[in-house]
Amino acid sequence: MLRDALLLQLGYNATLVAVGATLLGISAGVTGTFLFLRKRALVSDAISHATLPGICLAFLLMVALGGDGRSLPGLLAGSALSAWIGLLCLNWLTRNTRLAEDAAIGAVLSVFFGFGIVLLTVIQTLGAGRQAGLEGFLLGSTAGMLWADALVIALGGAATLALILLIRRPMTLVAFDPEYAAARGVPVHRVDLAMMGLVMAVTVVGLKIVGLILIVALLIIPPVTARFWTERSDRVVLLSGLTGGLAGYLGAAISASAPNLPTGPIIVLVAFAFFALSLLVAPGRGVLAALLRHFRFQRRVHLRQGLLALAQGQPIFEQLTLRLLRRADLVRADGVATDAGRARAAKALRDETRWQIVRADQTHEAAAALYDGLRDIETVLTRDQIAEIDSRIGGPQEVPA
Amino acid sequence: MSGSEFVPLSLTPMLIGILAAVACALPGNFLVLRRQALIGDAISHVVLPGIVVAFLLTGVIAAWPMMLGAAGAAVVAVILIEAIRRLGRIEPGAAMGVVFTTMFAAGVLLLEQTDTSTVHLDVEHALYGNLESLIWLDATGWASLLDPVALAGLPVELSRILVTLVAVVGFIWLFWRPLKLSTFDEGFARTLGIRTNLLGLALVIVAAVAAVAAFDAVGSIIVIAMFICPPAAARMMTNTLEGQVGWSVIFAILSAVLGYVLAGYGPMWLGARDAVSAAGMIATISGLILALAARFGPCRTRSGAPVQV
């Protein structure tokens, strides 16, 4: 069943949903990256909640004009309008009052959503059954998606991607360094607004599939996931689009494969699975990589301290140090140093003396700053410099047994 | 309007609305000042999975297991946000976004997967609450306020939110000085020996408890709106913390009363038959109050801070 779903063999509607979800995931992932890099990820939460009153008002207006009230383009236009108003309120509150951005986000989100709920109850009292389609926008409803709906979503997604391609450079610049961007003459405020406009477009397009509460997840989770794997912004954008698209596709397929699996939440959970995996295993920024780095560092410290202790003839009691030395064949099982161990120990002690001279000498100031007790002196100084230092220390002396 | 109609039908919902609004606005003051306003948003989203899990474990719709489940979910969410923020080195906003959307999605999925057709548990209910249905059927008029038999029939939500409000007020009253210090100058508070981390966590937990108790009666919209709008509006009115807390309580009560009255009677004045959502209307009114304060409040601008680009 799942195999059929993944190969788009589950019928017309499931295929439409899968294609739509994939496109949505890609554009949300790409757009969300800039939002995330600008550290304004939660603005999308305010925007998405602010769509609700617009949907309801558009519905009321279309009914008043004698229509059915459920035409998707009309509802989406209404949602875009109210999201834009919400966004302007948000910007005005943060720029002209003392409120911090998070308080402004929360205020816009709750007030617009509350007003939307009031309008929903108004619509409920108008006539039985007609509002059924509207509540689907809260959590998304992909059952009974029409070809025209899919077309709207596909066109919207494609337009969003094209716009991002056009203004990705100023957006990257503003995301990393707004002051520098302003100094270069980039209209920071307008670029910010454009970025938010893109977020709004993605939100509006995604209303039908994942709903307004969960669209935030598609804007936030893929960029955060992608950030684990690379340090370059263009690759984050690519990876994030890829993760988002994959999450959309897999989520739609899984949800079509069995009953009672709502599309929106499944897509979000798939995206989260990617995130959790990246958090664990990503090289560099992942948790496992950090643990490995920690253990490697610990081993180096223990080995170094063990060698210095051997060189000075002190007994070693630390079990980990002994185990590491024994595994490297530097000491025998009874704790006595082997030949190799004595040589390495003598070298460690000599290096320590060399470092002392380096650190006492003003001319080696830059090198001395690199001293951390672990660094090999050969990686910092040239052979000639070491020879010069050695001439101050004198020749090799006998290492105490 | 006569007492025989007002007391049974409107008095208790209005009281519950007021108490819930104040219980959320009080900790909201500190959250807004500490730039943690969206914790309230996150908590109100993760309450849904908590309630669903509690229902799955106990099999009944009962108040205490659900409140415990919701509070547990809130604590799990806070821990997860903190863990993801530190382990992944991700900015707090994004970490919060990852956690609360995922937990909400899991809650919706669980709800769809279990058979809840026999019980009243759905996403809409979680969002709007059911303030209008918390009526006091045993009351016959104002005299019932002194009648012990009728008083026994008060909705349990009223006593629960009252206990919560007392607990919230108690916490803020007890820890007023440390809270104030650590909110405005965390470094200084630490040098005085105040354990700011612990205090911050306690504040979030108190906020979660208030949110869960209020959520039970009025739904999550009011919770988010009351955490943020009254304190934010109060922030525009005064420069002292005491003043801000006072104003926020006034604004919270005003939104609850006005919102409830407008939702219940407003449509009838306009000629419509049915009331609209009280929870939504209360949130809307709080937003209007915030808008007025942001436009005309005496202390609305940032003083001395540079204009942000």
What are B79-131's pLDDT values in tens digits? Answer: 899 899 888 888 888 999 999 999 999 988 888 887 665 555 666 666 667 77
**Whether A74 and A181 share a structural domain:** yes
Residue A337 DSSP code: B
Tell me whether residues A265 and B108 touch, CB distance under 8 A: yes
Distance from C-alpha of B302 to C-alpha of B292, rounded to nearest angstrom:
17
- Among candidate residues A246, A275, A304, the one where a domain is terminated: A275
**Percent of chain B surpassing pLDDT 70:** 91
Given a cut of 60, whether residue B3 has pLDDT beyond it is yes
A166 close to B296: Cβ distance less than 8 angstroms: no
Per-residue pLDDT, B111: 83
B6 close to B151: Cβ distance less than 8 angstroms: no
| A180 within domain boundaries | yes
Nearest alpha carbon to residue A18 among A30, A2, A34, A31: A2
Nearest alpha carbon to residue A213 among B225, B101, B221: B101
Q: Count up the domains in chain A and report the number.
A: 2
If phi > 0 it is left, if psi is from -120 to 50 it is alpha, else beta; for residue A381 that is: beta
Query: Taking CB atoms and an 8 Å cutoff, what residues of chain A touch B93?
Result: 39-42, 102
Distance from C-alpha of A291 to C-alpha of B83, rounded to nearest angstrom:
15
CB-based contact, A88 to chain B, within 8 Å:
no
Q: Walk along chain A (401 residues) and give the pLDDT tens digit of each residue.
A: 677 767 767 777 788 888 888 888 999 999 999 999 988 888 999 999 999 999 999 988 888 887 776 778 888 899 999 999 999 999 999 888 889 889 999 999 999 999 998 888 888 777 645 555 677 787 777 766 777 777 887 888 888 888 888 888 899 999 888 899 999 998 998 898 888 889 998 888 888 888 888 899 999 999 999 999 998 988 999 999 999 999 999 998 898 888 888 888 999 999 999 999 999 999 888 899 999 999 999 999 999 999 999 888 888 888 899 899 888 888 888 878 888 888 899 888 888 888 888 888 888 888 888 888 788 888 888 888 888 888 888 766 665 55
Burial class (CB in 10 A: 0-12, 13-18, 19+), A379: exposed
Burial class (CB in 10 A: 0-12, 13-18, 19+), A126: middle
Tell me whether residues A262 and B112 touch, CB distance under 8 A: yes
| A301 within domain boundaries | yes
**Whether A260 and A303 share a structural domain:** no
A37, A42, A110: best to mutate for the B interface, most B CBs within 10 A:
A110
**Whether A316 and A252 share a structural domain:** no
**Whether A164 and A60 share a structural domain:** yes
Given a cut of 80, whether residue B149 has pLDDT beyond it is no
List Cα–Cα distances, A181 to A169, A174, A187, A197, B231, in angstroms: 11, 6, 8, 19, 35
- Domain range for A305: 288-393
CB-based contact, B41 to chain A, within 8 Å:
yes
| A400 within domain boundaries | no
Tell me whether residues A216 and B84 touch, CB distance under 8 A: no
Per-residue pLDDT, B288: 95
Distance from C-alpha of B3 to C-alpha of A86, rounded to nearest angstrom:
41
* CATH code: domain of residue A181: 1.10.3470.10
Nearest alpha carbon to residue A225 among A150, A285, A141, A309: A285
Query: Taking CB atoms and an 8 Å cutoff, what residues of chain A touch B235?
Result: 98-99, 103
- Among candidate residues A249, A275, A301, the one where a domain is terminated: A275
Count CB neighbours of B125 within 10 A: 12
Q: What is the pTM of this model?
A: 0.86
CB-based contact, A189 to chain B, within 8 Å:
yes
CB-based contact, A274 to chain B, within 8 Å:
no
Least confident segment among A258-272, A380-394, B247-261, B274-288: A380-394
| A281 within domain boundaries | no
If phi > 0 it is left, if psi is from -120 to 50 it is alpha, else beta; for residue B172 that is: alpha
Given a cut of 90, whether residue B222 has pLDDT beyond it is no
Residue A128 — φ and ψ, nearest 5°? -70, 140
**Whether A246 and A318 share a structural domain:** no
ipTM here = 0.90
CB-closest option in B38, B84, B221 to A105: B38
Query: Taking CB atoms and an 8 Å cutoff, what residues of chain A touch B92?
Result: none
**Whether A64 and A192 share a structural domain:** yes
**Whether A197 and A292 share a structural domain:** no
List Cα–Cα distances, A380 to A304, A343, A368, A384, in angstroms: 17, 21, 9, 12
The helix, strand and coil proportions of chain B, stated in percent and rounded to the nearest 5, come to: 80, 0, 20
CB-based contact, A36 to chain B, within 8 Å:
yes
**Whether A204 and A292 share a structural domain:** no
CB-based contact, B59 to chain A, within 8 Å:
no
| A61 within domain boundaries | yes
Per this entry, what is the length of chain A? Answer: 401
**Whether A195 and A310 share a structural domain:** no
List Cα–Cα distances, A274 to B106, B107, B119, in angstroms: 15, 19, 34
CB-closest option in A42, A97, A103 to B97: A42
Token look-up 């957006």 returns A171
Per-residue pLDDT, B309: 42
A/B interface, count of CB pairs below 8 Å? 220
User: What domains can you pick out in chain B, each with its CATH number?
Assistant: 3-293 (1.10.3470.10)
**Whether A69 and A128 share a structural domain:** yes
**Whether A10 and A135 share a structural domain:** yes
- Among candidate residues A254, A275, A296, the one where a domain is terminated: A275
Tell me whether residues B93 and A39 touch, CB distance under 8 A: yes
Tell me whether residues B283 and A113 touch, CB distance under 8 A: yes
**Whether A271 and A302 share a structural domain:** no
Per-residue pLDDT, B140: 72
